[in-house]
Amino acid sequence: MKNPKITVVMPVYNAQKFIISAIESILNQTLRDFELIIVNDCSTDKTRKIIESFARKDPRIKIVNNKTRMNIAASLNKGVSMASSNIIARMDADDISIPIRLEMQYRLISSDKNIAVVGANIIVMDLNENEIAIRNYPTTSEELKACLFKYSSFAHPVVCFRKSVFDEVGGYNPKYSPTEDLDLWFRLGVKHKFGNVKKPLLKYRLYNNSSSNRSLKDLEILVFKIRFDAITKYGYKPSFLDLIYNLLQFVTLWFTPEKYRGMIYNFLRNNNLI
């Protein structure tokens, strides 16, 4: 496709268990004018065969096979660089997009040229697709930026952003993977507006254990570094309550078991308490 309205970028690694549902959820979108770039990060299971079978049936699918493992941030940068559209939609290989997702997000991001990123609310589900909760996100740009010191403004697998502003700030920073999205939102938020579709547009699969090889403590320390950069490099000014929240989060990091930290965070977010 020469000029699709949206390019969907999906990084995959050993995703054979859920990737069929993920791809089908994109192919079944009400907005049909898109291309789907799948970046296969050296999968060792049947992922490559599955995505190739889809690509043979649908010309909108483009497959990129990494020669060496690049991990998610670098794979995303590679996929975005190959996009034919200026509007990029993120998708993960284990989630399910609601059929109206691309249509709703394209409509919102096209309504204001100053909006750089659009998110949506999400349905949290378990491995068997049983609904656990609905996570809501703020809708105004100011509120979305304000929550960055407590949690990410967007659920990463359901964001839609402009490639032009993504390139402008240098894309994802691989050194912050797998929390690269939070760093990107801080950098984009300096000059650009955020938006959110106030509807659940993605079913997000929640795992009991992180798929990352890094411990939860390591990831939280990365988040603190990103927030510190936001203050010292980009001029963000967290509120007093934000500072207290981060102080408590940092102090408890050293004596609260990872298992319980994950449970506490998911409880707070799933019940919209933070």
Quote the tokens at residue 231. 């203050």
Average confidence score pLDDT of the chain: 94
Decide if 201 is inside a domain.
yes
Decide if 203 is inside a domain.
yes
Establish whether the linkage from the previous residue to 157 is cis, with ω within 30° of 0: no
pLDDT confidence band for 209 (50 / 70 / 90)? low
Decide if 240 is inside a domain.
no
What percent of the chain has a predicted confidence (pLDDT) above 90? 84
- Mean pLDDT of all residues in 212-217: 64
CATH number for position 22: 3.90.550.10
Decide if 111 is inside a domain.
yes
Decide if 260 is inside a domain.
no
Q: What is the DSSP string of 157-176?
A: GG-EEEHHHHHHTTS--GGG
pLDDT for 11 beyond 60: yes
Decide if 228 is inside a domain.
no
pLDDT confidence band for 217 (50 / 70 / 90)? confident
Enter the pTM of the model.
Answer: 0.92
Domain range for 53 is 6-208
pLDDT for 207 beyond 50: yes
Q: How many domains does the chain have?
A: 1
- Mean pLDDT of all residues in 172-183: 95
pLDDT confidence band for 208 (50 / 70 / 90)? low
